[in-house]
Amino acid sequence: MAAKISSYLSHWTTYVPVVAVATLILTWGRDLPPPLVIISALFLAGAVLAAVHHAEVVAHRVGEPFGSLVLAVAVTIIEVALIVTLMISGGEKTQALARDTVFAAVMITCNGILGLSLLVGALRRRVAVFNPEGTGGALAAVATIAALSLVLPSFTTSRPGPQFSPAQLGFAAVASLGLYLLFVLVQTRRHRDYFLPITTAGKVIDAEEHLEPPSTRAAQVSLGLLLVALIAVVGLAKGVSPAIEDAVAGAGLPQAVVGVVIALLVLLPETIAAVRAAARDRIQTSLNLALGSAMASIGLTIPAIAIAMIWLDGPLLLGLGGTQMVLLALTVAVGTLTVVPGRANVLQGGIHLGLLAVFLFLAASP
């Protein structure tokens, strides 16, 4: 037992989060020269990968679908922290940062992670099999919360521009959080079987069959290191964000690209975890991660931003533009056609990845 713990502690994922936090402490509040930006970015990437590892250890211990929630909530914490810290220091140019980041997260999860997972699963098994009841319910919840938080502000008339009034923002925050909590209750309690992985042979998997679950001690250590890694990711990302903003401005790209970069960064752990699950014929786990992340990104981020607006100055622009609405509607429509059969091949995966490519191109060249 002692040898196992010693071997576990000697793993690189134990030390990288600690070193990343030390780097954060040494660089906090300073204008970083290019060499330090590169070093911080490297430790940031290492902390992200370490967070993936420790989240998977915890997820393996608690089982599905609870394991998918661990990483989804962890990633959302990163997203909220980045948005709030950048809005505090960014002034007027960050008024639409929450909208841009949340919309980017929805497009990346519902097209990028979902499409990549289906493509990997279909290439390895010819057909990717999943539960349409659970996945369909998750997609419906994502579409509802997205429309409530990102589409309606463009049509309300209480305030000029694509923004809610304080009362409307409060209602949207409560409604989004309520729908997310209802989904979690259904996923983890009432209809848990709808969200368990299914193999191509139709067998439901309630636990990892080929790997012994980690011990309680190992899971507790991973949980602690996961929190350390998340702190490092949030802090280091804030440190390198000025360099990202300068690079975006220097390249002549729209400010919305900053939100896309943030979403790509914070969703990297879930992307890696989802692809790994798809490669093991756990497509349902991949879809739980993708759609659960989209739902958490809206259902938890919007309430947090609504609370933060008590202290933040300036309007909060949430409403999407016409092009973004078309992409969101197309994503929901294509996602529905993908989910209904409960089976998908490389075509569906390629279509979703194509939609992601369209979103990324139009974000850079609106």
The CATH number linked to 63 is 1.20.1420.30
Which of 320-323's residues contact partners 24+ apart within 8 Å by CB, and which partners? 320/99, 320/103, 320/150, 320/151, 320/154, 320/162, 321/154, 321/162, 323/362, 323/366
pLDDT of 3 reads 46
Q: Over range 12-36, report the average pLDDT.
A: 82
- Cα–Cα–Cα angle for 237, 242, 248, rounded to 5 degrees: 105
Q: Check residues 238 and 91 and name the one with the higher pLDDT.
A: 238
One-character DSSP codes across 173-239? HHHHHHHHHHHHHIIIIITGGGGS-B-TT--B-SS-SSSPPPPHHHHHHHHHHHHHHHHHHHHHHHH
pLDDT of 66 reads 67
- Cα–Cα–Cα angle for 192, 193, 199, rounded to 5 degrees: 135
Domain count, the chain: 1
Burial of 154 (0-12, 13-18, 19+ CB in 10 A): middle
Contact 299, 179 (CB under 8 A): yes
SS3 128: strand
Q: Of 185-199, 240-254, 297-311, which one has max mean pLDDT? A: 297-311
Q: Which range among 18-32, 59-73, 306-320 shows the weakest confidence by mean pLDDT?
A: 59-73
SS3 146: helix
What is the value of pTM for the model shown? 0.82
* Mean of pLDDT over the chain: 82
Q: Check residues 93 and 299 and name the one with the higher pLDDT.
A: 299
Domain, as residue range, for 247 = 2-364
Q: Which range among 65-74, 235-244, 325-334, 341-350 shows the weakest confidence by mean pLDDT?
A: 65-74
What is the spatial distance between Cα 63 and Cα 50, in angstroms, rounded to a whole number? 20
Is the confidence at residue 1, as pLDDT, over 50? no
Helix axes 301-308, 283-299, angle to 10 degrees: 20
pLDDT band per the 50, 70, 90 thresholds, residue 5: very low
pLDDT tens digits for 250-297? 778 887 888 888 788 778 777 888 888 888 888 888 898 889 888 888
Contact 157, 192 (CB under 8 A): no
Percentages (nearest 5) of helix, strand, coil residues in the chain: 75, 0, 20
Cis peptide before 214 (omega within 30 of 0): no
Query: Tokens 């008590």 identify what position?
Result: 310
Query: Tokens 């960014």 identify what position?
Result: 90
Is the confidence at residue 181, as pLDDT, over 70? yes
- The full length of the chain comes to 366
Is the confidence at residue 21, as pLDDT, over 70? yes
pLDDT band per the 50, 70, 90 thresholds, residue 103: very high
pLDDT band per the 50, 70, 90 thresholds, residue 67: low
